[in-house]
Structure 1
C-alpha cells in the first residue's frame, strides 16, 4: 500500500509521556527508602537515649518496663480472679528467688544445698495461706532444720568434708536464704489470705512500685548526693526524696480510694513502706557487694534476677501485714 505524503502544514505530535510502572515504582522505592531512613534514625536515637539512661541508672529501661508489665499483669490476675492463684504466683517467685540466692552464694564459695532450700521455701507459701501464722512459723523453722541437717549430712561424705569454720558459714548462708526469702514472703501470703487482704497486698505492692519509680525518676534527673556509696553507688538522697513524695501520694490515694481508710493512714502507710523498701534495696545491694556480683542472676532482661525486683517487696510485706493487723 502506498504511504500517504506528509502534510507540511501539520504540527508534530508532542512526545508521549509515560506514566507506567517504572516511574511509579521508582517513586514508591524512593518513599520506602525515606521511611526506612527515618525509622533507622529514630531507632538509633532511642537506642542512644536508652544507653545514656542505662549508663546512669544501671538498667535497660525498655526491657525493665516490659518485664515489669508482664509481672504486674500476672499479679493482678492472681489477686483479682481467685485468691488461690496467688499461691501459684507467690510459690513460683519464692522458688526462683531462693534458687537464685542459693546459686549466688554457691558461686561465692558457700555450699548451700539448693534442692532442699527450694523445696522447704516453697512449702512456706501454702502453710502460711491455709494454716496462718502458726503454720508459717512451723514450716519455716522446720525448713531451716531440714536444710541444716542436709548440709551436716553432706559433710559426713568423705569427698564433701570441709573445715568446721566453712561448715558454719555454709549453715549460716543456708539459714539466710530461708529468713530472707520464704519467711518475709510469707507475710504477703498471710496478708492475702485475710478477708479483704488481697486489696492490702495490691496496695503495698503499688506503693513499693511507686517508691521505685519515684526514686528512679528523681535520682536520674536530680541525683547528686550519694546516700550509701559504699553499698549502692547509684542510690542518692534526691532519689530517696522522690520515693518519699511518690509513696505519700500513692499511700493517701490507695487508702482513701481503694481501702476506704482515712487519709492520715495513707501517710503512715507511705512512710513505713518507703523505709522498708529502701532498707530492702540496700540489704540486697550489700549482699551483692559482699558476693562480688552486679546482679543476683540474669534471668529477667533489664532487671537482673527475681531478687533484684523483690528486694524492696520482701520487708515491705512484713510492714504491710503489721499495718493491716493494727488498722484493718
Structure 2
C-alpha cells in the first residue's frame, strides 16, 4: 500500500527534507538558540564592563543606578507632589545616617550611644520643620546636651577607668555627629518650608547629583591625576573638571527654566555647590579612612550606606539655603 502522505512521484523528497512542520519547528529552534546565544554574549559583555568599572571605582554600576533612580523618585515625589512629605523623608535618611556614623565610630576608641544620638538627630530635623532659626539652634544645643549627658551617665555606670581626655573625645565626637548630619540636613528641610523653597531644594539636589555624575563619568574616562590620594585615591582632578562642567550646565539650566532667576545666578549656584559637594565627599572619605572602613554600611548596594549618599548633600544644604536667601528675590524682578 502507498502511504497517503507520500507521493510516489516525488522520489521520496519529503523523506530527505522532513515534514514542513518539522522544518518550521527546526528553524524556530535554531532562531531561538541563536537569540539565546546573543543574549548570553551581550550579558557576558555587560558583566565584563561592569566588573572593570567596579574594579576601577569600587561600585556595582547597575545596582547603583537602579537604587539612585529609586531614591531620586522618592525625593521628587516628596518635593513636588507632597511638599510636607520631604520632612518625613529627611527624618528617615538622617536617622539611618546618624545610626551609621555612630556605629562606625564605635570601632574607634571613642564611645557613643546610638539611641540618644538618633533621638537628638530626629529632634533637630523636626525642629527645622518650623522654620525658626532660634528653634533650630536650640534643638542643636539641646540634642548635643542630651547625647552628652546620656554618655556621661553611661560612663559612670560602666566605670571602666577611661581618662578625662578620652571622655572629652567622646563629647567632641557627639558634637561632630550632631552638627555634621542632622543640623546640616535640617537646612534642606527649612528651605522647603520657605515660599517656593521646594524648587530651590530640588535645584540644589540636582546640581549635587550632577556633580557626582560628572565627576564619576569624567574620572572613569580620563582620570589620571589623583586629587587627594591620601584621603580618596580614586578621586581625580579630571573628575573634578567634569564635575565643574556638569554643575555649571545644571545650574544655568535650572536658573533659567525652574528658578526663574538670571542665568548668572546659576553659575554661582553651580560654582559654590561643586566646592561644597566635593568637600563633603572628601570629608566623609577622611572620616572613613580614620575609622578604617570602606563604606558606612551595606544597606544600599552599589552605594554603601545612607551617609555615603548624603555626604555631598549635607554641606551643600546650608549653602543652598544661604543662596536662596540672597538670590531668590531676583525671581520677582525677572517675572516682572
| Cα distance in structure 2, aligned partners of 1:310 and 1:63 | 17
**Alignment partner, residue 236 of structure 1:** 236
**Alignment partner, residue 288 of structure 2:** 288
Aligned residues: 319
Larger deviation: 116-125 or 190-199? 116-125
> Contact between 1:133 and 1:190, CA under 8 Å: does it hold in 2?
no
| Cα distance in structure 2, aligned partners of 1:115 and 1:25 | 66
Tell me the secondary structure at the aligned position of residue 314 of structure 2: helix
> Contact between 2:121 and 2:178, CA under 8 Å: does it hold in 1?
yes
> Contact between 1:199 and 1:259, CA under 8 Å: does it hold in 2?
yes
Q: Which runs of 5+ in 2 are unaligned?
A: 2-7, 329-336
Tell me the secondary structure at the aligned position of residue 107 of structure 1: coil
**Alignment partner, residue 55 of structure 2:** 55
Tell me the secondary structure at the aligned position of residue 303 of structure 1: coil
Give the alignment's TM-score, normalised by structure 2.
0.91
| Cα distance in structure 1, aligned partners of 2:247 and 2:83 | 26
**Alignment partner, residue 220 of structure 1:** 220
1:1-328 map, 5 Å: 14-15=11-12, 17=14, 18-19=18-19, 22-158=22-158, 162-328=162-328
Tell me the secondary structure at the aligned position of residue 190 of structure 1: helix
Residue 23 of structure 1 deviates from its aligned partner by: 4.4
Residue 13 of structure 1 deviates from its aligned partner by: 5.7
> Contact between 2:125 and 2:183, CA under 8 Å: does it hold in 1?
no
The CA RMSD over aligned residues, in Å, is: 1.7
> Contact between 1:154 and 1:161, CA under 8 Å: does it hold in 2?
no
| Cα distance in structure 1, aligned partners of 2:27 and 2:10 | 28
Larger deviation: 88-97 or 22-31? 22-31
Tell me the secondary structure at the aligned position of residue 156 of structure 1: helix
| Cα distance in structure 2, aligned partners of 1:13 and 1:223 | 71
| Cα distance in structure 2, aligned partners of 1:155 and 1:108 | 16
Residue 12 of structure 1 deviates from its aligned partner by: 5.9
Residue 144 of structure 1 deviates from its aligned partner by: 0.2
Larger deviation: 11-20 or 277-286? 11-20
Give the alignment's TM-score, normalised by structure 1.
0.93
| Cα distance in structure 1, aligned partners of 2:139 and 2:283 | 25
Residue 209 of structure 1 deviates from its aligned partner by: 0.7
> Contact between 1:64 and 1:303, CA under 8 Å: does it hold in 2?
yes
> Contact between 2:131 and 2:190, CA under 8 Å: does it hold in 1?
no
Decide whether aligned partners of structure 1 residues 113 and 31 sit closer, same or farther in structure 2, where only a CA change above 3 A counts.
same
Residue 170 of structure 1 deviates from its aligned partner by: 1.9
> Contact between 2:91 and 2:122, CA under 8 Å: does it hold in 1?
yes
- Deviations along 1:78-126, one digit per CA (max 9) or x if unpaired, are 0111221011111000001001101111123322100111111011122
Residue 40 of structure 1 deviates from its aligned partner by: 1.0
Residue 160 of structure 1 deviates from its aligned partner by: 5.2
| Cα distance in structure 1, aligned partners of 2:220 and 2:232 | 14
> Contact between 1:252 and 1:267, CA under 8 Å: does it hold in 2?
yes
Tell me the secondary structure at the aligned position of residue 168 of structure 2: helix
| Cα distance in structure 1, aligned partners of 2:35 and 2:63 | 26
Tell me the secondary structure at the aligned position of residue 53 of structure 1: helix
